[in-house]
Each structure stands twice: as structure tokens, then as C-alpha cells.
């Protein structure tokens, strides 16, 4: 495989996002402020609860979980649905389809640049601040490795979901509506807004059979577990891998079928 | 030239609104999907809220129904910004492409002309949801009812709306100076979700910030005190209608200043 | 009567960011920025009378749009004075807007989702046009173009030509004293161009509207303008009527030839044979631009005939396009 043509796209993406100096600052400051709000909110919540541990999570656990979930969101949300939806509406998609690269791949590698900047501007500072503030709650052992692995798979699953939703835009002109529905479902059911541990029983079971938890819940739980049991880790990573494969296949097939439809209709 | 007073603008707005609704109906699928998306957002917000308070019965001396009251209040006060000022989201695109210039050639107020172009019907669903929540919480709290109370609620809802509109205007106007201002707008929008918690959970420094610098505390907390804690209403609450108007006026000036300073993209 | 537009010594400067190249450059830009001042319009003066159609010409980036933005009150000049209809435009944008109409080539100012007639009705309210004036204007439009098919079509479904036509109708609706047309015929087919030129001409005649027209299409200039102003790199190169311009360059004629042999070699060879003329070629013809003050066309022709076999030829008077090209190339006329 010729990797160079992909890394060129990555490089262009990095340069493009660095052009926006002030926006980088806003992202950093914004995330810090957001972090502070989350901190105080949960501090008050735990103070009112009167116990140290709720649903197996301490205040620091919850804090790390939520803050890193937000940071991961900033890192994974690529506005794929918006971009593909717009280029479908404007007809620009035809030009992209002519590029000598599979469209799904082309889009992914185009985004990979902002990925890298987001990682350094949002995720890394947030991670370091959280690690410092929570004074050693995050252990620096194998769990980091598992976390990185899990995030890589989470990115893949998230991208596949985005791509499936973007494909729906070939059928309807409502980008906003579709995107907001996707975002709401993913954020809630993946445990990005509230840790899945807090979910009441029937809901918790349902969620565990869906792919969404692999996006936020799994990587974060692997990170927080300083003393991982091999069996749990393997189960978690295998479940993720399963969803990576399933979602990739579905998104590819759906795109292929939908595109044929469009070509037949002469869209 | 005839003078253009409030009546002139109201009539123009009514006509533009009627036309806008007519054309919205012509994109029926989009309309339905977007409405469903909006309902989804509200339901998901509510579910997160419910999950949270299943685990924690109160925050900082505020019980479930009181927090629910704040929640409903914030939903209602966020409706006007959603319905009437939604074009702020597109401002960045118009400025970037240079199309913004088309708004500069009409003999009416630039800000008005720009905002009048879009009326977002979806916001009405949120309004209904908010009213339902507020009424439910009101009944559960056994607050009683009098015309004076209703009047107070209405005045403070308007105040809260003005504050949110001001925040959004200022955030949107940043695109006149910053290229990629989406992050700022997105940041402010996300922040408003935290407006629904009692400001007393924050440390004094952040209480100050959220009262004067990023006045989200005026969106639900300060106004709600009039109903929920009638014995301990701070002076700030009584001043808030004035402050709301002040914030709005400042943001309007900022927006106009940016728009007039904005010099097109050359060609 | 005072001129409707008076521009005196107007200059407009912009601050432009110098971007550095490459990945390293982007990183540097993140921490330090380097600006330079660009003078888009440089001491321009002109005055335009009511009812004139003025062609405002210049290559891309010459400062045309900037001048127009200053006249419409969107931009404030860095120095100098502008009076439009007795107003200082940027100081009173809304008042100025009541008296002007603007069309920007490919950017419609109409409501995208609405049929034209609804847009016109909204404009009627915004400009506070009386029912009588509105009806009169509409019947004038009916007599000039076939608007019935346009009126009920949403703007988003229109072709580019129909949209431009609609934009022009909308710009003239409130009977403004001045209409600015920025490249109104860009991207249109020949018949649509003709239609639009006829419409502009008729509206100018009927309503005595002053029209400021920027264009790259010399067909527009030939069909509409009595007077042209040429600007390049912010500086004014020419301001006079079009006949004067042609007279100025009237001694130039173009000799077009078809010879046997390879065209590129021939061009080079001929240039050597008659150094006082400039020689160029296109798909079909070899063109020799002859300045009759230096050499007579007949002489050139007979000199060429000594060396080449001429298969076909024609003689052309210099076109407006050639004249403008010469002005761009040579600077001040």
C-alpha cells in the first residue's frame, strides 16, 4: 500500500487547522472552562450524596471519566455527516467520487489531520491536567496501552457510524435533523454524558448489547482500571473488535448499495 | 425618506416570517426529520437528567423538583434564541464566502434584516417541552398560583432569553474577526446546558465569572429564585431585567460594529 | 445640476496577513504574524452625472469591487471623499441604500426559497414603494421581458441567467437613482447576455437611472457604455468616453493572415521581417498589429508577400477589447 498519498492528506489537514490560531486557543480555553464546570457540578453532587462511592465510582473516577469523555468527543467528532451531507447537496460529491481513492477512505484520511491537532490541543492537555488534579487516580501502567488500543478501535467504530448516517443523506436533504439525532443517541448510549454505571438496570442491559458503549465507555473504563484482570480486558477489547468489523462492513455495504441507487436514479 | 419605526419592522418581520414558513413547508421531509431530531434532543436531555437524579436525590439543598423547575425554565428561555436568531449559525459561512455583503445594501437595519431571514420552527417543540416540565415541577412543588407570580415568571423568562440571545450574538459576531469562529459558537451553545444548575455549587471566582463575564446564571438560576426562594431573592435578580437589556444592547452593538467593520473578502 | 456621484482622491488600504509556507511556516504563524499594507484603491477621482452608463473596467483584483463597496457605503475609504446623491455613503448606509440598487453577478440577493414575486413584494415593503409605483414598475417590466414564467418560480430553481435577470429587476424595483452592476453577464450564454443588455439599456433610458457597470465582457461595454473608466492596481488609467478611446488608438489596425507553413516558426520569422509591428497567432490566424503612423498596412502586406504565400487575409479595425488590453499593458493612456 502506498502510504504516502494518505499521509499527504494528513499533513494538509494539520496545516489547515493550524491556520486558525485563535480558534485553537478557544478550544483549549473552552475545554478548561468546561472541565471546571464539570468539576464543581459533580463535586456538589457527591457532597450532597453523602457517600464516597456511588455505583462503584468515586468522585475522582466520575470526574476523570466525564472530562476525558468530553475530550474524546472533541477528538472524535469530525463533522463527517455535515461535510458529506453538504457535498451531496451541492453536488460536489461527484468530484470526490472521481478521486482515485475509495470515498470512505478518502474522507477518513482527510480528517486524520485535524485528528492529530485535536489530539495535541485538546486531548493531551486535558489528560495531563486531569492526571495532575486527581493526584494519582490514573495509574500509569498497562492500562494506558489498553486505553490507546481501545481508542483506536473507538475511532473506527465512531467513523463507521458517522459514515452510515452520512449515507442516509443520500436519501434525504435533512442534514441537521439526522446529525442531531445521531449525536444525541451516540452521546447518551455510549456513556459520554453520564457514565453507564449510573444507568438503571433494564437500560444498562440494553446498552451493553449496542455498539455505542465501545466508543466512550470501554476505553475510559480500561483507563480507570489500575489493576486490570486479563479476562475483562480481553472481553472488552474483543467486543470492540467485533463491533469494528461489523460496523465497517455495514457502512461499506450501505454506501455501496446507496450509491448504486443514486447512479440508477441519475441523481 | 419615511421614518422606519417599530411598526414598520414588525410588519416586515411578519411578512418575511409568513413567506419563510411557506417555503419551509415545501421541504416537508426535512421539516419532519428536524422536528423529530429536536424532540429526540429534548428527550435525551431529560433522560440524562432523570438518570442523574435517580442516583442523587438533591444537589446543594435543591431537590429534584426544584432542579426540574430550573430545567424547564431554561428550556423555555432558550426558545427565542433558537427560533428567532438561528441565522447566527450561518453568519460565519456568509462572511467566509463573502455573501454577507448582500445584507449591506438594504435600507433597513442590518441586524434585523439578517436575523429576519430565518425562523426556526423546531424551537417551538422545545417550548412545549419546557412549559410541560415547568408546569409539572410547579405543581409538584405546590407553589400555588397568582397573577403576580405569572407576571414575574414571564418578565424573568424574557430577561433570561435576552441574556442567551446576547451571548449567542456576541459569539456569532466573533466571526468578523476570527476565521473559524464555529468553535466559539459551539462552545457557548454547549455552555448553556450548564445554565440549569444552581450557581451556588461554584466557587466564588466562578460565581463571579458566570454572573458578569459569561452571564449564564441569568438564564435560569437568578430568575427562578423569585419563585423558588421568594424570601431570599438577591438584588441581582431584581436588577436582571435591566442587565438583560444591557447585555442584549452590548451584543447588538458588537455585532453591528463587526458587520460594518467587515470589509468583504476583496473581490 | 451637481454630479450624482463625486469621488475625490479616494484611497483604500487593507491589512493583509503574510502567510508563511509549509508546515513549519504554519507553526510560526501560530505565534507571530506578519502583516503588510495593500493599497486596493489609490487616489482615485471621478464624477458621474445622472443618467450615465459608465463601464468600470480593470483586470481581476484591480480595485473595482472595492470602489463599488465604498460607493455603496459598505466600506469606509482610508482617505478622500465620496458623495453619492449628496450623501456620504458610509456615514449613512441605510439612507444611501434607499437610493441605490446593487447586483453582484453570481450572488443573488433574493430570498432563495421564495418565488420571485414574493421577493418583489417583500422588497416593496422594505423600500416602502407605493402600490401605484410598484404596479407601474411591474408593467414596465412586462413590456421589456417575459416575466410571467419567472414570477412564480422559486429562485433556487432558476437558471443562472434567469436569476441574474431577476436580480436586476429587483435592483431597479424601487426606482433607485443609481444601480451598481458587478459583472452582470458573467457565465451567461449569448442570447441571455443580449437580453440582459437590452433590459439594462431600456431601464436606463426609461428611468434615467445612472448605471455603474463592471465587466470583463467587452460586448457589455460596446452595447451599453458611452463612457469608460479603467483602473489597474488601484490606480486610474483612463476616464473618458469610448469614442475618444477608439480614436486614440484608431491608427492601429490588425492584419490577419493565413500562410502555409508551421505557425509558430512563421510568427517568429515575420516578427523579424517587420520589427515595428507586434505579431501573434491563434488557432486560425496570424495577427499583425500595425500602427499606421509607423507603417502602412499595404507596405507591410507587400513586404510579407515577397517571402510568403498568403492563402487568405482580412483586415480588422482595432476592437474595444484590443484597446483595453493595450491600456492594461502600457499603463496610462
For residue range A184-235, what is the model confidence (pLDDT) as tens digits? 888 888 888 888 888 888 888 888 889 998 888 899 888 887 777 888 889 9
User: What are the beta bridge partners of residue C38?
Assistant: C14
Q: What percent of chain A has pLDDT over 90?
A: 10
- Nearest residue in A to B42, CA atom: A184
Q: Is A51 on the interface with B (CB under 8 A)?
A: no
- Residue C168 has a pLDDT of 92
The mean per-residue pLDDT over the stretch B4-13 comes to 85
Maximum CA extent, chain C:
74
The per-residue DSSP string of B188-254 comes to: HHHHGGGGGS-GGGS-HHHHHIIIIIS-GGGTTHHHHHHHH-TTS--HHHHHHHHHHHHHHHHHHHH
Q: Is C124 on the interface with B (CB under 8 A)?
A: no
Report the alpha-carbon angle A224-A226-A231, nearest 5: 95
- Residue C132 has a pLDDT of 93
The mean per-residue pLDDT over the stretch A151-163 comes to 90
Mutation target among B17, B104, B113 for the C interface, most CBs of C within 10 A: B104
Q: Quick check: A18 and C19 CB within 8 A?
A: no
Q: Is C127 on the interface with B (CB under 8 A)?
A: yes
> How much is the ipTM here?
0.76
- Residue A153 has a pLDDT of 92
For residue range B47-87, what is the model confidence (pLDDT) as tens digits? 888 888 777 777 888 888 888 898 899 889 989 998 899 89
The shortest C-alpha distance from C105 to chain A (Å) reads: 19
- Residue C25 has a pLDDT of 65
Cell of A118: 485535536
- Nearest residue in B to A34, CA atom: B191
Q: Is B7 on the interface with C (CB under 8 A)?
A: no
- Residue B266 has a pLDDT of 40
User: What are the beta bridge partners of residue C44?
Assistant: C10
Cell of A202: 433494564
Q: Quick check: B19 and C122 CB within 8 A?
A: yes
Strands C235-241 and C227-232: antiparallel
Say whether pLDDT at A242 is over 80. yes
Contact C77, C10 (CB under 8 A): yes
Q: Which of B65, B58, B247 is nearest to B165 (CA)?
A: B247
Q: Is C37 on the interface with B (CB under 8 A)?
A: no
When mean pLDDT is compared across A256-265, B239-248, C254-263, the lowest value belongs to A256-265
Please state, rounded to an integer, the average pLDDT across all residues of chain A.
Answer: 81
For residue range A53-110, what is the model confidence (pLDDT) as tens digits? 888 888 888 888 888 888 888 778 777 888 888 887 777 777 777 777 788 888 888 8
Q: Which residues of B touch C106 (CB under 8 A)?
A: none
Say whether pLDDT at B220 is over 50. yes
The shortest C-alpha distance from B253 to chain A (Å) reads: 22
Q: What percent of chain B has pLDDT over 70?
A: 96
Ordered domains of chain C (ranges, CATH): 5-245 (3.40.50.300), 251-317 (3.30.70.260)
The mean per-residue pLDDT over the stretch B236-264 comes to 86
Q: Where are the domains of chain B?
A: 6-260
For residue range A34-59, what is the model confidence (pLDDT) as tens digits? 778 888 888 888 888 778 888 888 88
Strands C53-57 and C34-48: unpaired
Q: Quick check: B48 and A193 CB within 8 A?
A: yes
The shortest C-alpha distance from A227 to chain B (Å) reads: 26
Q: Is C23 on the interface with A (CB under 8 A)?
A: yes
**Cα–Cα distance, B185 to B178 (Å, whole number):** 12
- Residue A253 has a pLDDT of 92
- Residue A103 has a pLDDT of 84
* Element at C170 (helix H, strand E): helix C160-172
- Residue A267 has a pLDDT of 43
When mean pLDDT is compared across A134-138, A227-231, B37-41, the lowest value belongs to A134-138
- Residue C333 has a pLDDT of 45
**Cα–Cα distance, B16 to B227 (Å, whole number):** 37
3-state secondary structure of C79: strand
Residue of A20, A176, A198 lying closest to B179 (CB–CB)? A20
Q: Dihedral through CA C268, CA C274, CA C278, CA C284, nearest 10?
A: -60
3-state secondary structure of C159: coil
A244 backbone φψ class: left, alpha, beta (φ>0; ψ -120 to 50): alpha
- Nearest residue in B to C91, CA atom: B260
Strands A57-58 and C178-182: unpaired
pLDDT tens digits in sequence order for chain C, 333 residues long: 688 889 888 998 887 766 666 666 666 665 666 677 888 888 889 999 999 999 998 888 788 888 888 888 888 888 899 999 888 888 888 888 888 999 987 788 888 878 899 889 989 988 889 999 999 999 999 998 888 888 988 888 888 889 999 999 999 999 999 999 988 888 888 888 999 999 999 999 998 999 999 988 888 888 888 888 988 888 888 888 877 776 666 677 788 888 877 777 888 888 888 887 888 887 778 888 887 777 788 888 888 888 888 888 888 877 777 777 777 776 654
| pTM, entire model | 0.75
**Cα–Cα distance, C51 to C55 (Å, whole number):** 13
Residue of B30, B56, B182 lying closest to A173 (CB–CB)? B30
Q: Which residues of A touch B202 (CB under 8 A)?
A: 37, 40
Q: Quick check: A11 and C23 CB within 8 A?
A: yes
Amino acid at each position: 500500500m502506498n502510504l504516502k498519498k494518505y499521509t499527504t492528506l494528513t499533513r494538509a489537514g494539520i496545516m489547515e487547522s493550524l491556520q486558525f490560531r485563535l480558534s485553537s486557543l478557544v478550544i483549549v480555553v473552552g475545554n478548561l472552562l468546561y472541565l471546571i464546570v464539570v468539576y464543581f457540578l459533580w463535586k456538589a453532587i457527591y457532597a450532597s450524596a453523602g457517600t464516597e462511592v456511588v455505583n462503584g465510582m468515586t468522585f475522582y473516577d466520575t470526574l476523570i471519566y466525564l472530562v476525558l469523555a468530553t475530550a474524546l468527543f472533541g477528538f472524535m467528532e469530525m463533522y463527517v455527516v455535515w461535510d458529506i451531507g453538504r457535498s451531496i447537496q451541492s453536488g460536489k460529491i461527484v468530484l470526490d467520487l472521481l478521486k482515485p481513492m475509495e470515498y470512505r477512505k478518502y474522507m477518513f484520511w482527510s480528517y486524520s489531520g485535524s485528528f492529530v491537532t485535536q489530539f495535541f490541543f485538546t486531548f493531551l492537555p486535558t489528560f495531563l491536567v486531569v492526571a495532575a488534579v486527581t493526584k494519582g487516580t490514573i495509574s500509569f501502567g498497562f492500562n494506558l496501552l489498553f486505553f490507546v488500543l481501545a481508542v483506536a478501535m473507538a475511532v473506527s467504530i465512531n467513523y463507521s457510524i458517522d459514515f452510515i448516517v452520512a449515507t442516509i443523506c443520500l436519501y434525504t436533504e435533512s442534514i441537521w435533523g439526522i446529525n442531531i439525532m445521531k449525536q444525541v443517541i451516540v452521546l447518551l448510549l455510549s456513556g459520554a454524558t453520564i457514565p453507564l454505571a449510573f444507568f438503571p438496570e433494564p437500560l444498562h442491559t440494553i446498552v451493553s448489547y449496542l455498539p455505542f458503549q465501545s466508543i466512550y465507555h470501554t476505553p475510559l473504563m480500561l483507563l480507570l482500571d489500575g489493576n486490570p484482570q486479563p479476562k475483562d480486558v480481553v472481553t472488552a477489547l474483543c467486543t470492540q473488535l467485533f463491533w469494528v468489523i461489523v460496523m465497517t462492513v455495514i457502512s461499506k455495504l450501505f454506501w455501496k448499495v446507496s450509491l448504486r441507487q443514486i447512479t440508477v436514479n441519475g441523481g | 425618506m419615511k421614518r422606519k419605526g417599530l411598526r414598520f419592522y414588525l410588519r416586515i418581520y411578519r411578512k418575511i416570517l409568513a413567506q419563510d414558513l411557506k417555503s419551509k413547508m415545501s421541504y416537508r421531509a426535512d421539516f419532519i426529520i428536524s422536528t423529530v431530531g429536536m424532540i429526540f434532543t429534548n428527550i435525551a436531555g431529560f433522560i440524562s437528567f432523570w438518570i442523574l437524579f435517580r442516583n442523587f436525590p438533591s444537589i446543594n439543598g435543591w431537590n429534584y423538583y426544584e432542579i426540574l423547575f430550573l430545567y424547564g425554565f431554561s428550556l423555555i428561555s432558550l426558545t427565542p434564541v433558537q427560533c428567532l436568531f438561528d441565522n447566527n449559525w450561518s453568519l460565519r459561512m456568509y462572511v467566509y464566502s463573502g455573501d454577507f455583503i448582500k445584507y449591506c445594501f438594504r435600507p433597513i437595519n442590518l441586524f434585523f434584516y439578517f436575523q429576519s431571514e430565518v425562523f426556526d420552527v423546531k424551537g417551538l417543540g422545545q417550548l412545549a417541552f419546557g412549559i410541560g416540565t415547568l408546569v409539572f415541577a410547579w405543581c409538584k412543588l405546590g407553589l400555588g398560583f397568582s397573577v403576580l407570580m405569572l407576571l414575574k415568571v414571564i418578565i424573568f423568562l424574557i430577561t433570561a432569553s435576552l441574556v442567551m440571545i446576547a451571548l449567542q450574538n456576541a459569539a456569532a459576531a466573533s466571526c468578523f474577526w476570527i476565521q473559524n469562529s464555529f468553535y466559539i459558537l459551539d462552545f457557548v451553545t454547549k455552555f448553556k446546558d450548564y445554565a440549569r444548575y444552581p450557581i451556588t455549587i461554584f466557587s466564588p471566582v466562578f460565581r463571579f465569572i458566570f454572573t458578569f463575564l459569561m452571564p449564564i446564571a441569568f438564564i435560569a438560576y437568578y430568575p427562578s429564585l423569585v419563585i423558588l426562594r421568594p424570601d431570599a431573592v438577591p438584588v441581582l435578580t431584581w436588577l436582571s431585567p435591566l442587565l438583560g437589556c444591557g447585555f442584549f444592547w452590548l451584543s447588538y452593538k458588537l455585532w453591528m460594529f463587526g458587520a460594518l467593520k467587515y470589509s468583504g473578502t476583496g473581490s | 445640476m451637481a454630479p450624482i456621484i463625486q469621488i475625490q482622491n479616494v484611497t483604500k488600504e487593507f491589512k493583509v496577513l503574510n502567510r508563511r509556507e509549509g508546515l513549519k511556516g504554519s507553526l510560526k504563524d501560530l505565534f507571530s504574524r506578519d502583516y503588510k499594507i495593500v493599497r486596493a484603491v489609490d487616489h482615485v477621482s471621478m464624477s458621474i452625472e445622472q443618467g450615465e452608463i459608465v463601464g468600470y473596467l480593470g483586470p481581476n483584483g484591480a480595485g473595482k469591487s472595492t470602489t463599488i463597496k465604498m460607493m455603496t457605503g459598505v466600506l469606509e475609504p482610508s482617505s478622500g471623499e465620496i458623495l453619492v446623491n449628496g450623501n456620504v455613503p458610509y456615514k449613512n448606509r441605510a439612507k444611501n441604500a434607499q437610493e441605490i440598487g446593487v447586483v453582484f453577478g453570481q450572488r443573488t440577493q433574493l430570498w432563495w426559497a421564495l418565488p420571485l414575486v414574493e421577493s418583489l413584494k417583500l422588497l416593496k415593503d422594505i423600500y416602502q414603494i407605493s402600490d401605484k409605483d410598484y404596479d407601474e414598475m411591474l408593467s414596465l417590466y412586462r413590456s421589456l421581458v417575459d416575466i410571467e414564467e419567472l414570477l412564480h418560480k422559486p429562485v433556487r430553481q432558476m437558471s443562472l441567467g434567469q436569476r441574474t435577470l431577476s436580480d436586476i429587476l429587483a435592483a431597479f424595483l424601487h426606482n433607485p437613482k443609481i444601480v451598481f452592476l458587478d459583472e452582470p453577464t458573467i457565465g451567461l450564454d449569448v442570447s441571455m447576455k443580449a437580453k440582459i443588455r437590452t433590459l439594462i439599456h431600456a431601464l436606463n433610458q426609461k428611468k434615467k437611472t445612472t448605471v455603474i457597470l463592471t465587466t470583463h465582457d467587452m460586448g457589455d461595454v460596446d452595447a451599453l457604455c458611452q463612457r469608460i473608466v479603467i483602473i489597474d492596481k488601484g490606480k486610474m488609467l483612463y476616464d473618458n468616453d469610448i469614442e475618444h478611446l477608439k480614436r486614440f488608438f484608431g491608427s492601429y489596425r490588425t492584419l490577419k493572415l493565413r500562410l502555409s507553413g508551421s505557425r509558430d516558426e512563421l510568427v517568429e520569422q515575420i516578427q523579424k521581417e517587420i520589427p515595428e509591428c507586434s505579431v501573434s497567432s491563434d488557432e486560425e490566424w496570424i495577427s499583425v498589429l500595425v500602427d499606421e503612423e509607423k507603417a502602412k498596412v499595404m507596405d507591410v502586406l507587400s513586404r510579407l508577400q515577397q517571402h510568403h504565400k498568403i492563402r487568405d487575409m482580412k483586415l480588422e479595425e482595432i476592437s474595444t477589447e484590443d484597446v483595453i488590453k493595450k491600456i492594461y499593458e502600457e499603463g496610462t493612456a
